[in-house]
Structure 1
Amino acid sequence: MPRITVNGNELYYEERGHGTALLGIHGTPSSAMLWEDAAEELSAYGRCITYDRRGFLRSAPSPPPATLDLAEHVADAVGLLDALSARSAIVVGRSTGGLIALELAHRHPDRVQALVLLEPAVFSLDPAAAEWAGQLRNSILKVAAEHPESAAEIVLRLALGDEAWESFPWELHHMFSETSPAVLAELTGQGLDLSENPLVITERELAAMMQPTLLVSAEDSAVPLWLANDRLAEALPDARKVLVSGGHLINPAHPAVLEFIRRVLAS
């Protein structure tokens, strides 16, 4: 399994294809394992790089970290691009990965050619979404106090619904459960969507972000998951919003995403 040391941490990563870098950042709880089919499709358009974020699954140290912060995830994304000699990338982020991608573009604009944000978990942009995220956080902490191994399951049941969780095969249940320590570390960290102190980004800061951006929402997602994209569409200078079928686990290689990447590459 390919691994690389970034900021003192060993990260699992995969590369496919050649050309412009396409960096995929997974959500919470998750892993690059869920991006394998999409990465194959994306590799037809460039050098697709996916990885397990610090603390998650194949990038999990022993013992697991007590806290994980947004700033650490952003630094790891930059460090991974550096280590793989990729000066900049089109960045595709899903859920928490979308939050990380947005902050990467904010803090390091020269490293991001364009953004694809699949229901990014930037709940602080909207009061109703922030309230929903706070309730989600409290529910996870309540259950995890007695059953920490269930943290990932609770996130997915609350965000996707019980029916979606029950539909996953045993292998996915096991994979998600293995990420529970990282879920709890992010809850106790800073700046992430379910942290006590999530990222606060202003309209002025968003207005200064000039990267072409595709905002993707899903028809069957909970309404709070749409709200961040609504606010981002209003604030970002070069953003377009699309609605696709299905739920929150939006395909990173959805046809709308591939069409956007083609347009970015052509320009």
Structure 2
Amino acid sequence: MPYAEADGARLWYEEAGSGLPILFIHEFGADHREWEEQMRFFSREYRCIAYSARGYPPSDVPEDPKLYGQDHAVADAVAVLRHLGIGKAHIVGLSMGGFATLLFGIRHPEMALSLVPAGAGSGSPRAEQAEFRAQCAARGDRLIAQGWRGGMAEETGHAPTRIQLKKKDPRGWAAYMARLAEHSGRGTGLTMKHYQGERDSIFDWEAELRRMEVPTLLVVGDEDWPCIETNIFLKQVLPNAGLWMCPRTGHAINLEEPAAFNAALASFFSTVERGRWQLG
């Protein structure tokens, strides 16, 4: 198996295709496999890389809670690119991965051809942050104690921002649920507690975001309520960003609407590569 060495963990990755590179960073309730539709589509013209975050086998599951968090998430993305000898890539992330994508753009703009943070921002509005953090701590403890087969998978799959996938694509939802149940309870529990539950509010990054000029496509479903306010804020403060909102769509936008998602990204990448995504 191919692994990239990061601080305190080996990261399993896969790649397909050749050309300009795209790095895909998955969400909390997923792993590298949730990018399969994008890997197959974009590898026709791009070099596509997807990896499993620390805590998600076949990547390592560190025992030390200090080896989880937003700083490690960004450093891991950099580690994968450097391991592959890639100096610059399109960075695409969903939810937890979208958060890492934004922070990657702030900390490593020289390594980003563009950014696509999709479904990013849950827990960021200040009025919601305390409750969000408390929920993350409780969910993390439950995952560590019970794993995904203790009811967490069913709760996640039927959540108000995820039930859309089941309604649109029952077969795809069933496959997603089977993969979800395979995740490490300890790895995802520590991720929930120390990454999800302790990460910054995106609103706290306003000064840095206003200076970040990397071409950015914000992506959110119009039924992904916890993320809409944050994405409107991001559109207001990012100087080189566009906002694409997909109708009648929840959180797992790349699974719910893969054709529309892929088309939006392909158009965005092409515009950036032709030098036409310019500061307004």
TM-score by length of 1: 0.85
Aligned-residue offset at 1:131: 5.6
Which runs of no fewer than 5 residues in structure 1 stay unpaired? Answer: none
Number of the residue aligned with 1:110 = 110
Q: 1:243 aligns with which of 237, 242, 245?
A: 245
1:30 aligns with 2:30: yes
Number of the residue aligned with 2:40 = 40
Contact kept in structure 2, 1:188 and 1:195, CA below 8 Å:
yes
Distance 1:197 1:239, change over 3 A: closer
Give the match's secondary structure for 1:160: coil
TM-score by length of 2: 0.81
C-alpha distance in structure 1 between counterparts of 2:105 and 2:31, whole Å: 21
Number of the residue aligned with 2:278 = none
Distance 1:158 1:135, change over 3 A: farther
C-alpha distance in structure 2 between counterparts of 1:105 and 1:134, whole Å: 24
Aligned-residue offset at 1:130: 3.0
Number of the residue aligned with 1:209 = 212
Pairs within 5 Å for 1:127-138: 127-130=126-129, 133-134=132-133, 136-137=135-136
Number of the residue aligned with 2:74 = 74
Number of the residue aligned with 1:89 = 89
Q: Deviation per CA, 1:101-155: give whole Å up to 9, x if none.
A: 111111111111211111113632x234536634642662575476343485244
Number of the residue aligned with 2:269 = 261
Contact kept in structure 2, 1:57 and 1:178, CA below 8 Å:
no
Number of the residue aligned with 1:160 = 161
Amino acid at match of 1:57: P
Q: Deviation per CA, 1:167-208: give whole Å up to 9, x if none.
A: 46555334213323222112332xx3x314535533111101
Contact kept in structure 1, 2:144 and 2:190, CA below 8 Å:
no
Amino acid at match of 1:218: G
RMSD: 2.7
C-alpha distance in structure 1 between counterparts of 2:144 and 2:79, whole Å: 34
Greater shift, 203-212 or 138-147, is seen at 138-147
Greater shift, 67-76 or 78-87, is seen at 67-76
Which runs of no fewer than 5 residues in structure 2 stay unpaired? Answer: 276-280
Distance 1:82 1:197, change over 3 A: closer
Q: Deviation per CA, 1:9-62: give whole Å up to 9, x if none.
A: 22111111222211100000211111112111122342111111111132133x
Number of the residue aligned with 1:176 = 180
Aligned-residue offset at 1:71: 0.7
Number of the residue aligned with 1:54 = 54
Greater shift, 82-91 or 245-254, is seen at 245-254
Greater shift, 244-253 or 105-114, is seen at 244-253
Aligned-residue offset at 1:66: 3.6
Distance 1:33 1:107, change over 3 A: same
Contact kept in structure 2, 1:28 and 1:96, CA below 8 Å:
yes
Contact kept in structure 2, 1:144 and 1:151, CA below 8 Å:
no
How many residues align? The count is 261
C-alpha distance in structure 1 between counterparts of 2:63 and 2:161, whole Å: 26
Number of the residue aligned with 1:140 = 139
Percent identity between matched residues is 26
